[in-house]
Structure 1
Amino acid sequence: MSQPVPPPGNPYAQGTPGQPDGQNPYAQGAPGQQPAGQNPFAQGVPQQPGGQNPFGAYPPAPAPAPRRNNVGLGILAAVVAALVTAGIYGAILGGTETEIGWAAIGVGFAVGFAAGKVGGSNPALPVVSAILSLGAVYLGQLVGIAVFASNQFHVSFTEIFFEDFGGLMEAWSEGKDAMTFLFLALGAAAAFSGAKKAS
């Protein structure tokens, strides 16, 4: 007993038993699918009534920190920086026996930067920093003379600096030239600029 041979063609193109002829159940949309051409996954995030975001609104940005404006602390920081850098500057001058422009600029910038960083944006700080840097560069030059004299005459630095400070000032006055004042001016300008940048 033989079974009928199906007509030529692709048997998978025929409808599945129980389906109307010529219809492929796999070509149909899945049950419950959106109408043809619409992708249910292409929809936007469900919105709450009134257009509100269900995930909540972004929190407001924090208020900017208040600008520092502490003149007293700024001046104190500048004084400390002036004393420290004057000692370093003097040691460099006494050790090299040469006036160095970049060292004077470094002294001024350090004084101004300390004032602006600690004291803030008060307009008086750059001016005060410039004045203090003049004193720091001058004091550094006196320290340099004392270091040089200590090496030359084999006398302790403290004895020369603290017991004969007047003699150091006289030696500075006799040895000053145009470069001496130029370095003073460079230090003051660097201090003014450093305070502006740090505030």
Structure 2
Amino acid sequence: MSQPTPPSQPTEGNPYAAQQPVAGNPYAGQQPSDGNPFAGQQQPTGGNPFAGGQQPGFAPAPPAPRQGNFALGIVAAVVAALVTAGIYGAIIGASGYEIGYAAVGVGFLTGLAAGRIGGSNPVLPVLSAVLALGAIYAGQIIGVAMIGADESGISATTLLTDHFDLVTSAWKESADFMTYLFFGIGAFAAFSGAKKAAA
């Protein structure tokens, strides 16, 4: 004997008409796709719940210090020290005066060359300061030799090679407090110049 078929429910005016179970399944029409309960919802990208936005509580990482070639940085500092020493000596020889600001320039350019090429190696600022001291001293010695050459008629090269003791004695006699002050300022300018150039 066949089962009686229940009468069909009217759909007009029935608020539950769209939610009637289908084929005996009370959740038909509400099943998640492929067994995923979050189907249809936006999934986080790459498993990151904060994808697409800034992660809370995290500041952007500071830029990494600029890397360079340490050996080339030393070479650049030495070359800069030699060149600026010659220029500084020529300025002193031409003017007849020790110009302190030129000593600061010697130090800064030496440090700048070291830091720009050598990068952020912590040895370079210290080495730049030492080289700057040597360059400032060499520049002043060259200047004294050029002034002595004008007064004696002997070339500056001859004074530096054959009478270096006389040149250093003349430098010591002319050195004063400002001479040593600009040594210190020039070394500091080299140290800070290397630091800034490597940043």
Using structure 2 for the length normalisation, give the TM-score: 0.65
For residue 66 of structure 1, report the CA deviation from its aligned partner: 8.1
Q: Which residue of the partner structure matches residue 76 of structure 2?
A: 77
Structure 1 residue matching 2:98: 3-state secondary structure? coil
SS in 1 for 2:154: coil
- The answer for the alignment partner of 1:184 in structure 2 is 183
Partner of 1:168: 167
Question: May I ask how many residue pairs the two structures share in their alignment?
Answer: 139
Task: Name the SS for the 2:87 alignment partner.
Answer: helix
How many Å separate the matches in 2 of 1:107 and 1:72? 21
Which residue of structure 1 aligns with residue 155 of structure 2? 156
Indicate the residue corresponding to 1:125 in structure 2: 124
1:37 match: none
Residue 109 of structure 1: aligned partner: 108
CA distance in 1, matches of 2:71, 2:191: 17
Q: Cα distance, 1:174 vs. partner?
A: 2.1
| SS, match of residue 67 in structure 1 | coil
Q: AA paired with 1:178?
A: F
**What does residue 93 of structure 2 align with?**
94
Instruction: Give the secondary-structure state (helix, strand or coil) at the position aligned to 2:114.
Output: helix
| Structure 1 Cα separation of the partners of residues 102 and 114 of structure 2 | 19
Aligned-residue Cα RMSD (Å) equals 1.9
Give structure 2 stretches of 5+ with no counterpart: 1-40, 43-62
TM-score under structure 1 length normalisation:
0.65
Paired letter, 2:97: T
Q: Amino acid of the residue matched to residue 171 of structure 1?
A: A
Q: How does 1:36-75 map to 2 (within 5 A)?
A: 67-75=66-74
- Residue matched to 2:144: 145
Deviation string, structure 1 residues 97-122 (Cα, Å, up to 9, x no partner): 11112100110011000000110001
Q: Measure the CA separation in 2 of the matches of 1:67 and 1:133.
A: 23
